[in-house]
Amino acid sequence: MRSTNLPNDAESIITSGVTRPRLTFLGVGPLGGTYAACYAELGYEVLGYDIDEGRISKFNDGQLPFYERGLDELLTKNLANGRLRFTTDIDEVAEFGDVHFLCVGTPSRPDSNSADLSYLESCVTSLAPRLSRQCIIVGKSTVPVGTSSWVQQLIDQHTSDGVDVEVAWSPEFLQESNAVQDVMRPNRVVLAAQSEWAQQLLQAAHKGVFELAAQEDRDVPLVVTDFATAELVKVASNAFLSTKISYINAMADLCEVAGGDVTALARAMGHDERIGQKFLRAGIGFGGGCLPKDLRALASRAQELGVGESLRFLAEIDEVNTRRRTRAVTIAAELCGRDVGPAGARMEGLHVTVLGATFKPDTDDIRDSPALDIARRLRNAGATVTVYDPKGIDNARTAQPELNYAKPLSEAVEGADLVCVLTPWEEFRHLDPAALGDIVSHRRILDGMNALDPQLWRNAGWEYRGMGRS
Ligand code: UGA
């Protein structure tokens, strides 16, 4: 597979005059589902595909199977104008598309940290034999470096003779809860293709993004690169973000023993533009379906490629992150006056309310959620735990049925010996400490993501502990 030398010129995409190709998105989870609706909004004819019939019929009925801010309007609008459809029929996908985007999940394998590419494989091997005209298959899923040449091999093995199908790559950088903006107004577009015609088609598939930027007088940086780089950008970025978070969390430990305040430290550090304010929030650590998994998959791939040494620090980043959860339980026990022995904290007889179950605010996603894991650990330590979350209760209950769930918030905190704010939802930031103080049994609060004003809570008679704030 050769790397392309085409110019890095977004302007040439807008002026190229190519017609809009028809797009398919294979796998309509939070990634493919968002892309499908947004690209229809950008003017493309789009077909979304999934093997999950329930998910597809929900989409076709105008209902989102997951929560993503602003996406429901785009779904409704573009189903109505006919530019967007969803199907479970792979023949229809092959017939419809000029550009097929692979958006299926690449979770960790059950037996190791490396990425499980079986969904990707079954997508390609079921699509390829059905293709009957020139088209490209574009990887968007997060994969180990080297995957694109394997995908091209699969395509070559399964496509009929004389049908020209090439793999191309364009990683995605969606942040859940901001995913619509990230698709419509990305902070960069990265493209890799093999031949001139594939490059033209790939650019045409992204033309709408650049046209919108031009209308709004914005720039979208375009990086046209080789396949290995395009595959690496995503995991390298996620591992960097994880490193930044674990770095400030390690500083939080230092602040606690030295008598500092990590929130002020992060603010002061972030004023240096080379460091920046973002992703320096100390607390209970990172979770979700991406950062932890990608960190481990990158370390594992580096090991396979013989450069494990160079990325060995990633294992420590992961450990710093996991220790945040233990630390939160320790602080919870300390707040309640319980000793923390070598075997950990014991919290029998205590009623703890955990506010937040999702891995971050504005989502219903509870995958690898630090908040939910801490709730589970508190229960394992003997506490009776009740969880409240604005959007995540249903998913949390399915994943952790042994915890108690309650809503509204006032019911969840009634009689609590300790309240732990573990996901910084806006609703929790604006809680009234005086009013809440009347409902609980003891005014004790653990602020797991340092989202509250300590003075406000202390003034209302609460015993307040943050993470890394002495
Ligand atoms: C992350 C990346 O930010 C996206 O760029 C990437 O495209 C995406 O993964 C992906 O791989 O698809 P996401 O998982 O939606 O996006 O969530 P983030 O906003 O990155 O937050 C991840 C975790 O880090 C959360 O648990 C959050 O609470 C935590 N975090 C974030 C901190 O602990 N401190 C911070 O300063 C920032």
Helix (H) or strand (E) holding 433, with range, is helix 433-437
Answer whether 186 contacts ligand 1 (Cβ < 6 A).
no
**24 C-alpha to center of ligand 1: Å?**
27
pLDDT at 16: 64
pLDDT at 18: 65
Answer whether 457 contacts ligand 1 (Cβ < 6 A).
no
**174 C-alpha to center of ligand 1: Å?**
9
The pLDDT tens digits of the residues spanning 120-174 come to 999 999 999 999 999 999 999 999 999 999 999 999 999 999 999 999 999 999 9
Answer whether 424 contacts ligand 1 (Cβ < 6 A).
no
pLDDT at 4: 39
The pLDDT tens digits of the residues spanning 358-411 come to 999 999 999 999 999 999 999 999 999 999 999 999 999 999 999 999 999 999
**In the predicted model, is pLDDT for residue 8 greater than 50?**
no
Name the band, by pLDDT with cuts 50, 70 and 90, for residue 344: confident
Please give the share of the chain, as a percent, with pLDDT higher than 70. Answer: 96
Q: How far apart are CA 280 and CA 251, in angstroms?
A: 10
H-type alpha helices, 26-70: 30-41, 53-60
pLDDT at 345: 85
Q: What are phi and psi of 48, to 5 degrees?
A: -95, 140
**In the predicted model, is pLDDT for residue 450 greater than 80?**
yes
Q: Which two tokens stand for residue 266?
A: 């992060």
**In the predicted model, is pLDDT for residue 300 greater than 60?**
yes
Answer whether 297 contacts ligand 1 (Cβ < 6 A).
no
DSSP reduced 3-state for 329: helix
**In the predicted model, is pLDDT for residue 306 greater than 60?**
yes
Which residue's CA is the closest to the ligand 1 atom numbered 2? 175
Pocket test for ligand 1, best of 170, 291, 426 (most atoms within 8 A of CB): 291
Which residue's CA is the closest to the ligand 1 atom numbered 36? 279
Where do we find the tokens 């994969």?
143
Strand partners, 99: 23, 136
Which residue's CA is the closest to the ligand 1 atom numbered 11? 290
Answer whether 291 contacts ligand 1 (Cβ < 6 A).
yes
Answer whether 261 contacts ligand 1 (Cβ < 6 A).
no
Within 10 A of 111 (CB to CB), how many other CB atoms are there? 7
Q: How far apart are CA 144 and CA 216, in angstroms?
A: 35
Concatenating the DSSP letter of every residue in 85-144 gives: EEES-HHHHHHH-SEEEE----PBPTTSSSB--HHHHHHHHHHGGG--S-EEEEE-S---
Please give the share of the chain, as a percent, with pLDDT higher than 90. Answer: 93
**In the predicted model, is pLDDT for residue 6 greater than 60?**
no
Strands 418-421 and 444-447: parallel
Which residue's CA is the closest to the ligand 1 atom numbered 31? 279
Q: Residue type at 169?
A: W
Which residue's CA is the closest to the ligand 1 atom numbered 4? 175
Q: What are phi and psi of 191, to 5 degrees?
A: -130, 140
Q: How far apart are CA 340 and CA 346, in angstroms?
A: 7
Please pick, among 38, 135, 290, 336, the residue that the annotation labels catalytic: 290
Calculate Rg over the CA atoms of the chain. 24
> Mean pLDDT of all residues in the chain?
95
Q: Are the C-beta atoms of 42 and 209 separated by less than 8 Å?
A: yes
Answer whether 175 contacts ligand 1 (Cβ < 6 A).
yes
pLDDT at 355: 98
Q: Are the C-beta atoms of 403 and 385 separated by less than 8 Å?
A: yes
Is 135 among the catalytic positions?
Answer: no
SS3 content of the chain, % helix, strand, coil (to 5): 45, 15, 40
Q: Which two tokens stand for residue 262?
A: 């990590």
**245 C-alpha to center of ligand 1: Å?**
10
pTM of the entire predicted model: 0.94
pLDDT at 3: 40
If you average pLDDT over residues 245-252, what whole number do you get? 98
Burial degree of 210 (CB within 10 A; 0-12, 13-18, 19+): buried
The pLDDT tens digits of the residues spanning 11-34 come to 666 666 667 899 999 999 999 999
Which residue's CA is the closest to the ligand 1 atom numbered 10? 290
Within 10 A of 456 (CB to CB), how many other CB atoms are there? 14
Pocket test for ligand 1, best of 238, 358, 362 (most atoms within 8 A of CB): 238
Name the band, by pLDDT with cuts 50, 70 and 90, for residue 5: very low
pLDDT at 9: 58
pLDDT at 343: 82
